[in-house]
Amino acid sequence: MPQPDPQAPVVYAYYDYRKYLRDTYEYRHAQDERFSYRFIQQKIGIDPGFLVKVFNGQKNLSESAVPAFARLLKLDKRQTEYFTYLVLFGRAKSDAAIRNYFEKLLSFTEFGAKRVDADSYEFYKHWYYSAVREIINYYPFAGNYKELAAMTVPAIKPSEAKKAMQLLERLNFVRKGRGGKYELTSQFITTGDEWRSIAVKQFQEQTIELAGTALERVPREERDISTVTVTLSKEGFEKLRDKLKDFRQEALRIAHQETNATGAYHVNFQLIPIGRHYDEGEDL
């Protein structure tokens, strides 16, 4: 039985089916020039022009074409299942569908990096993971999960606090220091962008919800929530967005300079439209 070529693209290493197909085509074509667009057309009936548009992101591969491609690329049953989810993930439109198929991709652990990606993605799934990480920066935690759980606002369960610490340790965000007390490391998530926008969107949804409930949960003197409604041109919008970006950097600088922190905070910025743009003479 022939051994797999270690240089060939591995389907489990991809979150973008187009990139996988493009890399595989280029690799196979370099090995054998007969593996061409015309060859693929003869084997599975895909028009070469359409295939180029798929590679370039202009067209989507249909789900019905997956089995033919799996046979062409000699994928086994497990690889075909992953490739199917890869295509469905690439075609998904709704947030729920995108998350569903992405989490299915993460469940395949055949490729080593998947474990790191799964833990990094998990970090953004629950707001209290980042909260616990920040709390460790000033709270002397040495294993009392009941106390740690009570430190978050709102309080979480001790089991959730334990789960958070286990994840933070796996990600090397915290470590046990001298005397048994935990401390932060300087490490943070640096994984690529394939999953980041999905995970961060979930995280932002949770922080926005927390901010809304804080109006009832948190005393006025312990929070600052304000709203201003303005009219802007598109140029004014860009200027204001740049100002918010500058202030985010300033907030991080202030936090970095802290030497005696006593609390952990979410700082939310929201610049959202409440009316459609309208130019004089435009038909509505």
CB atoms within 10 A of CB 92: 15
**pLDDT band at 195; cut points 50, 70, 90:** low
pLDDT of residue 1: 42
Does residue 181 carry a pLDDT above 60? yes
Please give the structure tokens belonging to residue 236: 């004014």
Burial environment of residue 209 by CB neighbours within 10 A (0 to 12, 13 to 18, 19 or more) = exposed
pLDDT of residue 193: 55
Q: How far apart are CA 223 and CA 266, in angstroms?
A: 10
Q: How far apart are CA 279 and CA 123, in angstroms?
A: 43
**pLDDT band at 68; cut points 50, 70, 90:** very high
Does residue 61 carry a pLDDT above 70? yes
pLDDT of residue 83: 96
pLDDT of residue 112: 65
Rounded to an integer, the average pLDDT of 96-100 is 89
pLDDT of residue 150: 96
Please give the structure tokens belonging to residue 19: 């990139």
Does residue 247 carry a pLDDT above 90? yes
pLDDT of residue 95: 84
Rounded to an integer, the average pLDDT of 51-68 is 90
Task: Pick the more confident residue, 233 or 112.
Answer: 233
Q: Which residues pair with 182 in a beta bridge?
A: 176
pLDDT of residue 281: 63
Does residue 2 carry a pLDDT above 50? no
pTM of the complete model: 0.74
Mean pLDDT of the chain: 88
The contacts of residue 134 (CB under 8 Å, 6+ apart) are 264
Which run of H or of E encompasses 234?
A: helix 234-257
Does residue 204 carry a pLDDT above 90? no
Q: How far apart are CA 139 and CA 96, in angstroms?
A: 36
* Closest residue by Cα to residue 153 from 256, 266, 267: 266
Burial environment of residue 80 by CB neighbours within 10 A (0 to 12, 13 to 18, 19 or more) = middle
Q: How far apart are CA 168 and CA 196, in angstroms?
A: 17
pLDDT of residue 205: 87
Which run of H or of E encompasses 273?
A: none
DSSP state of 30: H
Rounded to an integer, the average pLDDT of 57-66 is 90
Which run of H or of E encompasses 182?
A: strand 182-184
In this structure, are residues 8 and 14 in contact, taking their beta carbons and an 8 Å threshold?
Answer: no
pLDDT of residue 30: 93
Q: How far apart are CA 27 and CA 106, in angstroms?
A: 25
CA atoms within 13 A on the CB side of 96: 0
**pLDDT band at 139; cut points 50, 70, 90:** very high
pLDDT of residue 284: 55
> Which contacts qualify for 271-279: CB closer than 8 Å, 24 or more apart?
271/237, 271/240, 271/241, 271/244, 274/229, 277/234
pLDDT of residue 274: 81
Task: Pick the more confident residue, 192 or 225.
Answer: 225
